[in-house]
Amino acid sequence: MVTHPLSHERPGRPRSPPSKQRRAAGATPEERAQPLCRGLGLRAPVKKSKCPSCPGQRPLQGDAAELCPPGSPEPADRLELQAFRDYGASWYRFRKGLESKFHPREPLAQQPQVTAEARCKLISWLIPVHRHFGFSFESLCLAVNTLDRFLTTTPVAADCFQLLGVTSLFIACKQVEVHPPRVKQLLALCCDVFSRQQLCNLECIILNKLHFNLGAPTINFFLEHFTHLRVESCQADAREANNAKALAKGMAELSMADYAFNKYAPSLLAICSLGLADQMLHHQNPLDLHISGYPEEVLQDCTDKLHLLVSLNGDSLPHVLPPGYF
């Protein structure tokens, strides 16, 4: 089991900048995308993450107090719950049915230069990067999925692995963020050792290799679904459910960086992360894990592995919850 540095990771700077890109006539996009650098370091400007806010209980008076009793969701959450009531069950079945199509179980099997340790360092670097920009957890999940699926199709040189990471994040943010990052910002994170043309060329290669199939079902989707389900069924109030979801997201980040967890489907990781979060927070009404449809032995195996992962990386989790929980 690998420990994950997350925001504590501070690799050194690159030893030297790459030489100018070769512009031989007739060069393929793949050739143009290859950087000519060695010893690339992984660095990013990281600002301290803020704890995700949980929906509070506003003081209500009169009829409003009857419509929104203590522990009820905020107005925005009620809109999400209404959408969940209308489409949640169908949307869950549809997305779960797509998991096998978008889930790469052994992305490093055909990679001669990229190791599980290198992948761990890259994803542990992408985690604070996506927080620094204020991107959604969905963007991070899609970026890791895009990266892993591309690794199953194409051997990647070690010195352009970081470029693959930021390009995957760029593609993910274009799908879900209102304001995706600029290419210049992403290149600055890599100490400007890559060119704009290299990133754009690699983006085209990734999209073509994946046949533009980018809408993968993510851990984030299933965390949201199971959280809505427990609130709608009155298994937990909104505050308790959202605290469990916040802690489960921290566990999901750890699991994405650990190559050993690639064998587990996103829906399984989501339900087990929520179940373990309930245990750690000592919730009186824990989520019933069997609503996921997974057998007991499968749930127990994944939960045990997550518990070990958390025990090795416990220092990385307290910042995702309000003070007083750890």
Q: What is the pLDDT of residues 152-182, one digit of tens each?
A: 999 999 999 999 999 999 999 999 999 999 9
Classify burial at 112, counting beta carbons within 10 Å of its beta carbon; exposed 0-12, middle 13-18, buried 19 or more.
Answer: exposed
Which of residues 205 and 93 earns the better pLDDT score? 205
Beta carbons within 8 Å of 264's beta carbon, 6+ residues apart: 255, 272, 302, 305
> pLDDT tens, 242-266?
899 999 999 999 999 999 999 999 9
The residue from 181, 209, 237 where one domain ends is 209
Mean pLDDT of 97-124: 91
Cβ–Cβ under 8 Å, residues 258 and 1:
yes
Domain CATH number, residue 128 = 1.10.472.10
Q: Which of 181, 174, 125 is nearest to 146 (CA)?
A: 174
Using pLDDT thresholds of 50, 70 and 90, give the confidence band for residue 83: low
Helix (H, G, I), strand (E, B) or coil at 231: helix
Say if residue 228 is in the same domain as residue 312.
yes
Q: State the maximum Cα–Cα separation within the chain, in Å, rounded to a whole number.
A: 76
Q: Which of 155, 177, 209 is the last residue of a domain?
A: 209
Q: Distance between CA 326 and CA 301 in Å, rounded?
A: 25
Give me the pLDDT at residue 323, please.
56
CB-facing half-sphere around the CA of 126: CA atoms within 13 A: 33
Domain membership of residue 302 as a residue range: 218-320
Q: Is the domain of 129 the same as that of 254?
A: no
d(CA 299, CA 271): 8
- Give the Å distances, CA to CA, from 125 to 8, 119, 189: 9, 10, 10
The rounded mean pLDDT for the chain is 77
Tell if the pTM clears 0.85, that is, is over it: no
- Same domain for 121 and 240, yes or no, is no
Single residue among 162, 188, 209 that ends a domain in this structure = 209
Domain presence at residue 99: no
Token pair listed for 214: 């980018």
pLDDT band per the 50, 70, 90 thresholds, residue 70? very low
| Domain assignment present for 26 | no
Of the ranges 21-25, 62-66, 71-75, 302-306, which one carries the lowest mean pLDDT score?
Answer: 62-66
Identify which of 5-9, 13-17, 219-223 has the greatest average pLDDT. 219-223
Residue 228 has pLDDT above 90, yes or no: no
Percent of the chain scored above 70 by pLDDT? 70
Q: Of residues 132 and 94, which shows the higher confidence score?
A: 132
Look at the chain and report how many structural domains it folds into. Answer: 2
Better-predicted residue by pLDDT, 115 or 1: 115
Residue 17 lies in a domain: no
